[in-house]
Chain A
Amino acid sequence: MSEENWIEVGSTDSIEEEDLIRFDHQDKTFCVYRLIDGFYATDGMCTHEAVHLEDGLVMDDEIECPMHQGIFNIKSGEALSPPACEDLKTYPVKVDNDKIFIKID
């Protein structure tokens, strides 16, 4: 595992519990979530149409798309409710010294 793939997102207190922030890196965009049991990351754009999930609602382990209410599991990326049917890509997250890092491949 090469170290340089871990990208710093920000400090842990930049995300409220049961919420998310958008994180852009180079030409890519992500959502980083703070759930009750830790931090998670997924692709930023919904797999249904081109809308960012940053404006979606986080409920338990799920993110609901703000456009048509497609639902994804944040931890697995699984598409749980139509019109979303394609899974969302997820990324490993680690916390080091109160800083959040995501591993982008």
Chain B
Amino acid sequence: MKNNIIILGGGQAGIYAAREIRQNDSESNIKILGEENLLPYERPPLSKDFLLDKKNEEDLYFYSDEVLKKENIDFEYVSITKVDFENKKLFTKNDEVYFYDSLLISTGSENKKLSLDNNLINDVYYLRNLEEAKTIKDKVLNKNKITIIGGGFIGLEIASSLSQLQKKVTVIEIGDQLMGRIIPKQIADLVQNIHLEHGNEIILNKQIDKIIKKDDMYEILLNDNSLIETDFLIAGIGSTPSVKLFENTNLKLNNGITTNQFCETSIKDVYAAGDVSNFYHPLYERNIRLESYQHAQNHGICAGKNIAGVKTEYTSIPWMWSDQFNLNLQLTGICDDYDEIIERGNDINNGVIYFFLKNKIIRGACGLGIAGKVGRDIRITSKLTEKNTIVDKQILSDQNLKLNKLIQK
């Protein structure tokens, strides 16, 4: 049957869903609606290689215009401002209407904003999209002292990149460790050390009381009365799922759009995938919301299958990475529900990994090492979590024993 399928949000989850639908359904109309005037692109390099000029805009796009044309996937640059789920319609602010039979919502997430005085609103920069990355890259050129508010992944990646561009960087974090509690303190400390070694200043446990604008610079007053002078302000204080559009509708929301393991929302024929979805994971028997590259891709593909009528459960094991300086951090499974932690290695040159176990079963792991050093073991951990494996702790804790054996038949 020929359907009108609309994908709202032209990011990573959206494009992978579209291509997957086409693989399974050669007839239906597939239209992606995206508010950025760009084809879907990779966001991870925005805070890293793009700022460093090691990757440029052309390197970021997932697929070219030709690929979309060939697969008969329509892409329109519009912003949707209203939805009518009952009559299956989407509206733009000029009241243009789009009808759908099936809808995938893949609107991603957006940065939390600091509450600032009006005269400062345009002085703090955020990073989520290519345009913002270009602005930051351009503006920092003639700045020296940069302050980053928030010591999460994105803030720290920007700090790493700007330090490599010879900027004097200060990171202010409200919590008592970097990257939040999900990351083991020991790993957060190792990351902090690398920043310090490269000359970045890291301030923990401090809040900003006031920002004072003075000609070309700013004074930041912290809650312990200390003062930081800076030329440029960037905030990375976390993000929220992009759901404003649905707040006064019947769509069930709870830290994102609630979806089941088939990417289905509470409304028939409406699906959600990627950053915006708080999905049920059958293995962990709970809902999870992830902001990760691999998840956006796999969840998009899974939604695409389900929309095309190929009923498919989403069982991917969560995985994400962050690259700072020459370090690569990886996180897999769930690391917030455990009764035991096992450490593997203690030197970042060979990789350091913390495994999280519950009832002797591996639930997740977090690792840090010089580029690539923890990847294989983290990947093996994903596979072990998938199978609810009880593992010999000796093998996990001894870096001389290879984990490969654990997954070989």
Report which A residues bind B (CB closer than 8 A): 18-19, 49-52, 55-57, 64-69, 82-83
Contact = CB atoms under 8 A, between A and B. Distances in A.
Given A19-B404, A82-B62, A57 B371 contact: no
Interface residues of B, number: 21
Nearest to A68: B321
Which of B62, B374, B375, B404 neighbours the largest number of chain A CB atoms within 10 Å of its CB?
Answer: B375
Contacts of A65: 372, 375
A69 B375 contact: yes
Which of B44, B319, B374, B379 neighbours the largest number of chain A CB atoms within 10 Å of its CB?
Answer: B379
A51 B371 contact: yes
B375 A67 contact: yes
Given A49-B49, A83-B42, A64 B293 contact: no
B294 A66 contact: no
Nearest to B382: A69
B13 to A, nearest CB: 13
A55 B408 contact: no
A68 B55 CA distance: 16
Given A18-B404, A18-B408, A57-B379, A69 B294 contact: yes
Which of B42, B293, B321, B376 neighbours the largest number of chain A CB atoms within 10 Å of its CB?
Answer: B376
A9 to B, nearest CB: 20
B62 A57 contact: no
Nearest to B42: A83
B131 to A, nearest CB: 21
Contact of B376 (A56, A68, A83): A56
A36 B204 CA distance: 52
> In terms of DSSP, what is the predominant structure of the interface of chain A?
loop
Contact of B328 (A19, A57, A67): A67
Nearest to B375: A66
A38 B6 CA distance: 47
Contacts of B371: 49-51, 67
B375 A52 contact: no
Interface string B56-67: 000000100000
Contacts of B297: 82
A55 B404 contact: no
B372 A67 contact: yes
B380 interface: yes
Nearest to A16: B404
Contacts of A55: 372-373, 375-376
B372 A51 contact: yes
Contacts of A49: 49, 371
A66 B42 contact: no
14 contacts: A56-B376, A57-B376, A57-B404, A65-B372, A66-B328, A66-B374, A66-B376, A67-B371, A68-B44, A68-B321, A69-B294, A69-B375, A82-B42, A82-B62
Contacts of A69: 294, 319, 375, 379
B76 to A, nearest CB: 24
A68 B371 CA distance: 10
Nearest to A54: B372
Given A68-B321, A82-B297, A83-B42, A52 B372 contact: yes
Contacts of B62: 82
A50 B294 CA distance: 20
Given A52-B372, A66-B372, A66-B375, 18 more contacts: A19-B404, A51-B371, A55-B372, A55-B373, A55-B376, A57-B375, A57-B376, A64-B375, A66-B328, A66-B379, A67-B323, A67-B328, A67-B372, A69-B294, A69-B375, A69-B379, A82-B42, A83-B42
